[in-house]
Structure 1
Amino acid sequence: MRFEITFEGLKYSCINCTYCCSCKNWRVYLTYFDKLRLQGYENHIEKSNSEYKHVLALKNGKCSLINDNLCRIQIEKNYESKPAMCKLFPFSFMVKWNGEMLLILKHYCNGVQIGKTGKKMINHAVDCCEELYHDQLIELSINGAEKSEKTNLDENTRIYWEEREKLGNYLLKTKKFDKFSERYLEIFSEDVSEKIDKLKLLNLDKESKNKNFRERETLRYMYELNKREHFRKMPLKREMHNLINIGEEINNHHDLLKGESMIDSKLLLS
């Protein structure tokens, strides 16, 4: 299946923090192939009521296979022997309006950084998705796609989904708040410059050398969220207002990526 990348401009590198092994809001589900790879580690597997039937066991709130922030499977065997769900994190997927897959990056992972994710890592994440969800991907694609050919531009106007996608790209694929404001006025005949000025003031409060970076990264993150499922049930106009509010929220953090992490925690773990 085709996977569209939603997080261009970010990369991931494991820092051995074991956050993903804490299983605070999730469990590590095991596929049939995972169980084969985990022969010899049966004491670390528990039964589950999920369709996967088995999960990794926990000890003191973390995966029971973690010792000194290191994975026993990776040390004693190799990386490829780890469960697909472990190898997939911090990547995941959502379903696009047309049923295609969106490869997403979970910003609450401590290893997320500014940069470029290489093709090898992208392909690896897609392979893990297909292994973990191979029996479900087609069904998820069909059920997740929009059944109506049209969506809402605002409270009164209906447009085709292809038009909405083009407008989202046009609005957010820019590096300047002022340009976004101009395009918003052009499309919706509404001036949002006052709200955008708040964003610009938040940037001025930070170090001036980081101002341009923060402006670019805020718009990049808004564009990333525009691709996800969370907002598409709203009219596009209301979605943009919500994204502006999210832009303000992340800019209240001195560390912009920390702000994005907080938003992703709310969106993906709720």
Structure 2
Amino acid sequence: MEWEITFDGITYECINCAYCCSCKDWRIYLDYFDVLKLKDYNYAIEDCERGKFKKRLKVGGEGCVLLHNNLCKIHLEKGYEYKPLMCKIFPFSFMVKWNGDLLLIIKHYCKGIKKGKCDKRMIKKAMEYCEELYLDELDDIIFEAMEHSSKTKIDDNWRVSWEEREEFGRNIFKSKNLNEVAEKCKELINYDVSERINKIKDNLSKLEEDIRKENEEEIIRFMGELNKREHFRKFPFKKEIDKLLEIGERISRYKNVFKGEAIIDKELLLNPNSHYTI
């Protein structure tokens, strides 16, 4: 199975906040082996119908019913290995790339997100858990989600290969600053994005110089991360650029841009009716 990591420059460290156990807008679904391991916790499991999943953990007022004093009862009593796969995967997940490769993503609404580099062992485990959880249907998921046409649109009059589109995105979001993003959009795809770029720069101009520079670099990195994730690949590439720059403008309003990224990620990953999605 070929994997690509989408979040270079971002790391995660658990801060024991139990936010992942709060089950806000998500639930913990159990596969067959999870149910077997949790036979002593049948009182916390309920029936459901969600694809291959027929069981899930119950929730109460504070989230998962197995959460006590911000600690997981399973982890305390049985150990980490007994925890459901979905619990062990968080804050990671995956998407399918246009060519069928798997994209490892990280959820920015997790409160343990920070700058740095992720531990290689953690990354490897996240990939293994994703494969294990969806083992029986992963081939079908990949086949349905990948592209079956060799061409994609830059706009209504310009079609290129998926490899070329990917290379355009990689080049644009390797830029060192926002002016370079605008220059590359004009040079590579003949697209003038100066108006949107200026909106982002106007928001950043209100900040101290060191924070402004750091936020500018992070905004470009995050737009590149979303481009790698391919949330918007069903749109023509110029339309995708519009949406990424709209996101860049939104998060540039935050002094701590990671707060803005958390809001965007909730919309992209938890809200199927978001105006960003098709």
Q: Which moved more, 1:94-103 or 1:37-46?
A: 37-46
Q: Which residue of 2 aligns with 1:255?
A: 256
Is 1:227 the equivalent of 2:228? yes
Equivalent positions of 1:182-221 (< 5 A) are 182-221=183-222
Offset from partner CA, 1:90-132 (integer Å, 9 cap, x none): 1000010011111001111111111111111101101110111
Count how many residue pairs are aligned between Structure 1 and Structure 2. Answer: 270
State how far apart, in whole Å, the 2-side matches of 1:41 and 1:146 are. 42
Is 1:181 the equivalent of 2:178? no
Q: Which residue of 1 aligns with 2:5?
A: 5
SS at match of 2:231: helix
Q: Which residue of 2 aligns with 1:40?
A: 40
- Kindly indicate whether the alpha-carbon contact (under 8 Å) linking 1:176 and 1:216 is maintained by their aligned counterparts in 2: yes
Equivalent positions of 1:92-111 (< 5 A) are 92-111=93-112
- Kindly indicate whether the alpha-carbon contact (under 8 Å) linking 1:5 and 1:104 is maintained by their aligned counterparts in 2: yes
TM-score, normalised to structure 1, is: 0.97
Identity across matched positions, percent: 49
Q: Which residue of 1 aligns with 2:117?
A: 116
Offset from partner CA, 1:34-76 (integer Å, 9 cap, x none): 1222131111111112322111111224101100001011111
Q: Which moved more, 1:206-215 or 1:137-146?
A: 206-215
SS at match of 1:213: helix
Q: Which residue of 1 aligns with 2:21?
A: 21
Equivalent positions of 1:52-201 (< 5 A) are 52-201=53-202
In the TM superposition, what is the alpha-carbon distance from 1:20 to its structure 2 partner? 1.3
In the TM superposition, what is the alpha-carbon distance from 1:188 to its structure 2 partner? 2.9
State how far apart, in whole Å, the 2-side matches of 1:243 and 1:49 are. 34
In the TM superposition, what is the alpha-carbon distance from 1:175 to its structure 2 partner? 2.2
In the TM superposition, what is the alpha-carbon distance from 1:79 to its structure 2 partner? 1.0
State how far apart, in whole Å, the 2-side matches of 1:78 and 1:175 are. 45
In the TM superposition, what is the alpha-carbon distance from 1:181 to its structure 2 partner? 1.0
Q: Which moved more, 1:2-11 or 1:42-51?
A: 42-51
State how far apart, in whole Å, the 1-side matches of 2:232 and 2:224 are. 12
| Structure 1, unaligned runs of 5 or more | none
State how far apart, in whole Å, the 2-side matches of 1:231 and 1:61 are. 34
In the TM superposition, what is the alpha-carbon distance from 1:230 to its structure 2 partner? 2.0
Q: Which residue of 1 aligns with 2:275?
A: none
Q: Which moved more, 1:44-53 or 1:98-107?
A: 44-53
- Kindly indicate whether the alpha-carbon contact (under 8 Å) linking 1:24 and 1:61 is maintained by their aligned counterparts in 2: no
SS at match of 2:29: coil
- Kindly indicate whether the alpha-carbon contact (under 8 Å) linking 1:231 and 1:239 is maintained by their aligned counterparts in 2: yes
Q: CA RMSD in A?
A: 1.2
The letter of the residue matching 2:90 is F
State how far apart, in whole Å, the 2-side matches of 1:191 and 1:25 are. 38
Offset from partner CA, 1:181-225 (integer Å, 9 cap, x none): 111111233332232122122212122211221111101100011
Offset from partner CA, 1:233-252 (integer Å, 9 cap, x none): 11111111111111010011
Q: Which moved more, 1:208-217 or 1:97-106?
A: 208-217
In the TM superposition, what is the alpha-carbon distance from 1:226 to its structure 2 partner? 0.6
State how far apart, in whole Å, the 1-side matches of 2:212 and 2:24 are. 35
SS at match of 1:231: coil
- Kindly indicate whether the alpha-carbon contact (under 8 Å) linking 1:90 and 1:109 is maintained by their aligned counterparts in 2: yes
State how far apart, in whole Å, the 2-side matches of 1:160 and 1:224 are. 21
In the TM superposition, what is the alpha-carbon distance from 1:78 to its structure 2 partner? 0.9
| Structure 2, unaligned runs of 5 or more | 272-278
State how far apart, in whole Å, the 2-side matches of 1:126 and 1:192 are. 36
The letter of the residue matching 1:25 is D
State how far apart, in whole Å, the 2-side matches of 1:123 and 1:190 are. 39
In the TM superposition, what is the alpha-carbon distance from 1:3 to its structure 2 partner? 1.4
State how far apart, in whole Å, the 2-side matches of 1:269 and 1:194 are. 30
The letter of the residue matching 2:13 is S
